[in-house]
Structure 1
Amino acid sequence: MINGKEPNQLRNDCIKLPFVFDTDKMLAEFNTLDLDNFEYYNVIPLRAPAHMVDHTIPFPQPSNDYADGSWTNWLDTSYLKNSPYLMSVIDTFRKNTTVTLVRLLRLAPGSIVKEHTDPTLGLEIEKSVIRLTIPILNNDKVTFFLNGIPVPMKQGECWYLRLTDPHKITNFGETERINLTIDMIPNNWIRKIIETY
């Protein structure tokens, strides 16, 4: 500890937030989803743009800026509607701010997501969303690197990661890695939480 804080909490590119969720319940609901086998990387949408969920809704008119998520309405998918605990996790945030894209992200054993940046996923960007990450299933050979430094995320924890910075993921274990990611339009409520921790 340094000045009463864990070393990772002295970083300003990743912040562990004061939320902890039940990974047994999340994993049980994940296991009920009828998902295909996959290689490398797989995305399961829980909230998506309205026209992708309800095909009677037209694609929105062109927008000058897609970065902040306000270009469309966002709807829960059937995966989320059939997952009451995952719904309650998302409700933790959407009762206080606008939640946009929500996904389950699967990374196969022996896979690497190469280093990249996400230019619109940072609190410091004026028109953007932020992404919170909750690991659901991990193994001791999964590592998330941000700015070249491992982020010690544990299952059930909730993290803000400044993804405008370079990041990559390795899964050298024998099981898949599953994360829940929740994108939201930042407001004073979530900003205060991030800045406090």
Structure 2
Amino acid sequence: MKTRDRILLPFTYDVDQMVAECKALELNQFEYYNVIPLRSPAHLVDSSLPFPPPADDFADGTWTDWLDTPELLKSPYILSIVNGFKEKIDVTLVRLLRLSAGAVVKEHTDPTLGLEIEKSVIRLTIPIIKHEKVDFYLNNRIVPMQPGECWYLRLTDPHKIENNSPIERINLTIDMRPNEWIKNIIAKSEVKVKEA
């Protein structure tokens, strides 16, 4: 059975603390799209570590070890969010995704970011800074994400973003290898959506 393409999960986070930590990182100006890694392949965080051996399949993140970056370690509240998941599940890539005012991310799919894919990771999205004129489309329908909420989105489906606002948009994304804990949370949250 296929999971719904968008599910609001029962986690909420303090927007003011996340915004303050983003500002404390003294993020550089950028033109269009900017990624700040918060958890990355170990050899990219610590240059003394060797490159991982070649992998036949990079889909689920097992090809490398993952480490928190200095930017994450300087952000105690966001680190606590990530650590809350790490206690329950294997967290891989964590990033702040910034989209500049007036920018558009064209429609695309991410072939390994869905529960239905056998060997994959899933991505949870937590909006931090979002103006009312920022629209995230999934399967041509707007996902009504609000700052501080946590969403599972089936990103193997077509999606795009339009930032028609005067400010940048920042999301925290947390990738993880799905286990029974997160599958159960998604399934219970999906039932609540169907009952509403």
TM-score, normalised with respect to structure 1: 0.94
Which of 170, 182, 193 does residue 178 from structure 1 map onto?
170
Question: Counterpart amino acid of 1:106?
Answer: R
Shift in Å at residue 38 of structure 1?
A: 0.1
Structure 2 counterpart of 1:70: 62
1:131 counterpart SS class? strand
Shift in Å at residue 149 of structure 1?
A: 0.3
Matched, 1:187 2:179: yes
1:87 counterpart SS class? helix
Alignment deviations for residues 107-138 of structure 1 (CA, whole Å, 9 cap, x no partner): 00000000000000001100000000000000
Matched residues, number: 187
Which of 14, 17, 32 does residue 25 from structure 1 map onto?
17
Structure 2 counterpart of 1:52: 44
Which of 158, 164, 176 does residue 166 from structure 1 map onto?
158
Shift in Å at residue 58 of structure 1?
A: 1.2
**Cα distance in structure 1, aligned partners of 2:83 and 2:89:** 10
**Cα distance in structure 1, aligned partners of 2:27 and 2:146:** 24
Structure 1 unmatched ranges of 5 or more: 1-10
Question: Counterpart amino acid of 1:31?
Answer: K
Matched, 1:83 2:75: yes
Q: Percent identity?
A: 64
TM-score, normalised with respect to structure 2: 0.94
**Cα distance in structure 2, aligned partners of 1:51 and 1:135:** 28
**Cα distance in structure 2, aligned partners of 1:94 and 1:148:** 33
Shift in Å at residue 35 of structure 1?
A: 2.0
**Cα distance in structure 1, aligned partners of 2:91 and 2:181:** 13
**Cα distance in structure 2, aligned partners of 1:75 and 1:171:** 31
